[in-house]
């Protein structure tokens, strides 16, 4: 079966750094995605990891450890517009994505 | 990534009627599309995999006769909610599969369905 765990909500301060963790258990693992979803909108792609290590893309970085079934999304220099839900998703057989419940991030002044 | 559109963006219908939702891949030929449903404060749940030119593959617990999927071309998949009931009210989102190395999915803007 597929199982994705991530915290339900987090709060951070504008300008700070926040790390959102995700643990997963999937069969036929073929990569780990992070998506951002603002309320009432569809998810937008942030990052993809299939090999162990850190992928950096501007203010966003994502890390994967396949042996531990663990990933995190790191957001630097937080902005108010970063307040959103962040979805961790793992690919399994048939290119299907299994989503976690999402982490609602609130950025405060 | 691929640009995906959905129509309509919002629909209100009476209980017992059918509603068709279109998902279009505007700049990418999509052999495979996915249909998801998302209830408030919950994550996306995969309903079915839509394959161009063949029958859709439904996830366990999703009624194929209630949620009709047609993927007649490489740019269009449709989801028809038949005999809609209030419990079908949800946010329906499609995605296009980029069958490249990372198999990324790109999502449409979603359709909010309200069944009265």
- Give pLDDT tens digits for B89-98: 999 999 998 8
Q: Does B19 touch chain A (CB under 8 A)?
A: no
Q: Does A30 touch chain B (CB under 8 A)?
A: yes
Q: Which pLDDT score, from 0 to 100, does residue B42 have?
A: 86
Q: How far is CA B43 from CA A47, B65, B72, in A?
A: 18, 24, 28
Angle at alpha carbon of residue B29, lines to A85 and A93, rounded to 5°: 60
Q: Does A69 touch chain B (CB under 8 A)?
A: no
Q: Does A8 touch chain B (CB under 8 A)?
A: no
Q: Is residue B88 helix, strand or coil?
A: helix
Q: Is residue A73 helix, strand or coil?
A: strand
Whether the pLDDT of residue A82 is over 80: the answer is: yes
Separation of alpha carbons B14 and A106, rounded Å: 37
The answer to whether the beta carbons of residues B4 and B97 sit under 8 Å apart is: no
Longest CA span, chain A: 43
| Facing residue for A96 by CB, picked from B1, B42, B49 | B49
Per-residue pLDDT averaged across B98-113, rounded?
85
**Per-residue pLDDT tens digits for B19-37:** 999 999 998 888 899 999 9
Segment 50-69 of chain B within 8 Å of chain A by CB: 57
B40, HSE (Cβ side, Cα atoms, 13 Å): 4
């Amino acid at each position: 079966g597929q199982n994705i765990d991530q915290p339900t909500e987090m709060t951070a301060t504008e300008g700070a750094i926040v790390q959102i963790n995700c643990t997963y258990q999937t069969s036929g693992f073929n990569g780990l995605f992070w998506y951002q979803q603002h309320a009432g909108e569809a998810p937008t792609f942030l990052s993809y990891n299939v090999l162990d290590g850190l992928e950096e893309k501007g203010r966003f970085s994502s890390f994967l450890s396949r042996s531990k079934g663990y990933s995190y999304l790191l957001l630097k220099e937080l902005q108010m517009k970063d307040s959103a839900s962040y979805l961790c998703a793992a690919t399994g057989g048939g290119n299907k994505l299994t989503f976690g419940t999402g982490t609602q991030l609130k950025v405060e002044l | 990534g691929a640009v995906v559109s959905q129509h309509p963006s919002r629909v209100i219908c009476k209980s017992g009627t059918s509603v068709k939702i279109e998902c279009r891949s505007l700049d990418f030929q999509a052999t495979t599309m996915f249909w998801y449903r998302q209830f408030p404060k919950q994550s996306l749940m995969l309903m079915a995999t839509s394959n161009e030119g063949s029958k859709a593959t439904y996830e366990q617990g999703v009624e194929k006769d209630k949620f009709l999927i047609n993927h007649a071309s490489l740019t269009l998949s449709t989801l028809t909610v038949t005999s809609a009931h209030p419990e079908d009210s949800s946010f329906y989102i499609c995605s296009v599969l980029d069958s490249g190395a990372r198999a990324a999915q790109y999502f449409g803007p979603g359709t909010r369905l309200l069944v009265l």
